[in-house]
Structure 1
């Protein structure tokens, strides 16, 4: 937008609020504090945190923290979790039309003359008391099969990355909506006023052959107050941009500067009633407090060697998935409500067997280390860990197929995610797909149902958890019906 036009619109808006007296401003400020946004009173349950929209959860919560591990690009479920032995006998045969049923394809494979089936080249075995099937690429997850709850019947409405990952994070394929982390922050508030409620980290994959673009739109607060957006922690330099004082600026000068800005912002808030002004005041103060809390948090030197060993050799290298996984545990331990980690390069259109082993090596042991570390710290029961991508992959190969290498296209019809801790039912698998891992044959779980289930674990009724915006009671799960998947609850 032209800066002069933007400035003129801002002036018009401010004049509107000023001429309307203080009634609109008071209502807006009340909504910032969450008082105007909970249409149904909460029942007696678990207490929430600082500046929470809900004074009490709707019912006692199983989880109070979430660590969401998103594999950007869409992992191939049949090469990791969804074992399909019959496909060995279908090698290089065309996927039957009776299975595909005219379903939508991407433009990357819609023009193919053939859809040759590519069975997984990796061996599978059963692990744990529940006999969970896992690929040979996941030896560390095999050790914790009884801690994991698999959902093999996830499905989504989107077939391309940007709308699919946006849908998975925000409940809508159109950008501009609050993400799951922002909703959690808004509803439950902070557990530590010296740290952000919602933290985001982007892990660097060891193999960077085909990295997907992701942006801060995925962790924005949308129409919620800006304080609920994710705060991005960086792997190099200052953990958070501009957290430290500029050269030549002492702590005393910084404090006096912030006090002066606060007085000016308070005057603006009283005159115009813009809720974002209050948010700005709070964020300045948070940044000042984080100057001491964040450096201590990101210093791993005090972690004992046995802990570091659980996460693997890469844990000491900033920006690796192992390093961010350990950081996630430290953040949760310090009271950060929601931690989101993105790990890229799971978009295996080609050279899957050349790339997926690297991807699995990046995340396999660190996931094991995270779960065991949380368990050892007594945090797993209250921390929900979620692992998954935005969709799955096709059983047929994109392009040609060989027994040693192949690629897979996007597949929204079925894919696998897993959860651990936080009230999930470890050692179980929910939902079933057909022998081609192409269609769901039992217990489908749409993205909205997953969101409803996560909120339920946090003690929140997704139907009653709303925010008034543009005349509607907006919800994470949208206007369509969503169900809590009770079978995955402990």
Structure 2
């Protein structure tokens, strides 16, 4: 035995030892390249069912740009053409259609529910023959690039819970938003930028507010919360160095703070301390990356013309669409736009025309821009609001002036790129635009489908909090396979 040990010691010389060690180092190096931060000691808990930064299966999309139309645009004035409503203008909504379904407090007290057809004309576009309103000529021009889903439905009937439901999968607050879940599941592609960015704009119509809870990390580590960009001189608050502080001084200060935070982490083990260190470092790197992203002066004239002159005005919807492309192109996983002003309870024909003018050209330009750059196949673009609008008039009605109340039972959105079938219309509603007759898509189905395109299984993307495993789709949701390529 001693002889064997001696022979092994003689054969295990320095060269052989280093040769064997190199195999392990190579594996470590490969792992760190495939999953940045895998060996940093900053990963998730041992309870997690996935390795953060890796999808569950091969993804079709790498990134999402979500053009959220805050306030709920009417499907009857956008993508769900109902000529019968014009034919029956002013007649009462049949009881057999409504079937006693609940109404909001704004129309529950109405004694009658007169049907009102769209003031706008519709035409068919693309190979699918999709009906699109005259107020969206640019989106009509990309009909063969988008998938219109006319059979969305939700459980919420008022704005705040409906907004929260779409963004977090639950009507109450304190849940992680969709962008935070994507950040948690996939991480960032660019260490100098957040994985989840938020852009806000306001249109000419009646606006509903947006709140930071819509891009919250909820119970997930706070590194995954959305970072809001503003249109001012400082697009991200508190990112700039204070007056009189040099770059080198800032670096030394951050290093010392990181040492103190690391000591606290070693003592208490609170993962939020690690998150704070990561956020400080991210902010330091963003000081260089953000100004470059925000600068549109180098964009060629044809791109400015594509998005429209408003893209040069910070804070407009068009400017945010162009910025969303730049952020996505730079590796931001999830870019969320909120455009306020779609809450047309009255004066709908006039107000909605202004809203449509704000968003039509830039929305179509974003899809076209991504396509000509070869990025549309790996970028999922989504356009839509939190619920639909009623087929009957709210309050006093004339042909030129009417309003519509909230309607959760059916509404329309569209999606493009990122593994979604282009040039199709999915789902159908009845002749009154009140109930779904074919292929219903629940909000959780929509969320499951978005995650699926990113290579994430919505049932496996979970996080244990207070003894329960949470997920974006709660306890339901199924992938809508019919719209996938």
2:102 match: 104
Query: After superposition, where does 1:409-488 map in structure 2 within 5 Å?
Result: 409-479=405-475, 481-488=476-483
> 5 Å matches for 1:27-426?
33-39=43-49, 53-54=51-52, 56-205=54-203, 207=204, 209-426=205-422
* Per-residue Cα deviation, 1:39-67 (whole angstroms, up to 9, x for no partner): 2x6xxxxxxxxxxx445322210001000
Structure 1 CA distance for aligned equivalents of residues 371 and 151 of structure 2: 27
Measure, in 1, the Cα distance between the counterparts of 2:319 and 2:112.
Answer: 43
- Of stretches 131-140 and 243-252 in structure 1, the one that deviates more from structure 2 is 243-252
RMSD: 1.3
Residues 202 and 341, structure 2, Cα contact 8 Å, conserved in 1? no
Residue 484 (structure 1) shift: 0.4
CA distance in 2, matches of 1:127, 1:394: 25
Q: Partners in 1 of 2:42 and 2:165 — Cα distance?
A: 25
Q: Label 1:56 to 1:286 Cα distance change in 2 as closer, same or farther (>3 A).
A: closer
Identify the residue that residue 489 of structure 1 maps to in structure 2: 484
* Cα distance change, pair 211–87 in 1 and its aligned pair in 2 (3 A): same
Structure 2: segments with no counterpart, 5+ residues: 1-38
Cα distance in 2 for partners of 1:55, 1:141 equals 34
Question: How far apart in 1 are the matches of 2:129 and 2:106?
Answer: 36
Contact preservation (8 Å) 2:54, 2:185: no
Please give the alpha-carbon distance, in whole angstroms, between the structure 2 residues aligned to 1:37 and 1:192: 27
Change (3 A) 1:189 1:307: same
Separation (CA, whole Å) in 1 of partners of 2:62 and 2:171: 27
Contact 2:120 2:133 in 1 (8 A): yes
Secondary structure, counterpart of 2:322 in structure 1? helix
Assess if the C-alpha contact under 8 Å between 2:65 and 2:334 holds in 1.
Answer: yes
Distance 1:241 1:365, change over 3 A: same
In the TM superposition, what is the alpha-carbon distance from 1:275 to its structure 2 partner? 0.5
Q: CA deviation at 1:406?
A: 0.5
**In 2: Cα distance, 1:196 partner to 1:464 partner:** 24
Q: How far apart are the structure 1 equivalents of 2:202 and 2:387?
A: 20
Q: CA deviation at 1:260?
A: 1.3
Task: Give me the TM-score of the superposition, normalised by structure 2.
Answer: 0.90
Instruction: Determine the C-alpha separation between the residues in 2 that align with 1:102 and 1:332.
Output: 45
Sort the Cα spacing of 1:96 and 1:35 in 2 relative to 1 into closer, same or farther, 3 A.
same
Kindly state the Cα deviation for residue 454 of structure 1 after the two structures are TM-superposed.
0.5
Cα deviation, residue 297, structure 1: 0.7
Which string of whole-angstrom CA distances, capped at 9 and with x for unpartnered residues, describes residues 17-43 of structure 1?
xxxxxxxxxxxx99962353532x6xx
In the TM superposition, what is the alpha-carbon distance from 1:250 to its structure 2 partner? 1.4
CA offsets per residue over residues 169-191 of structure 1, 9 Å max, x none? Answer: 00000100001100000000010
Asked whether the equivalents of residues 31 and 37 of structure 1 are also in contact (C-alpha less than 8 Å), the reply is no
Conserved? CA contact 1:37–1:466, under 8 Å: no
Partner of 1:26: none
Contact kept in structure 1, 2:53 and 2:187, CA below 8 Å: no
Residue aligning to 2:35: none
2:14 counterpart residue number: none
Tell me which residue corresponds to 2:36: none
Segments of structure 1 that go 5 or more residues without pairing to the other structure are 1-28, 42-52
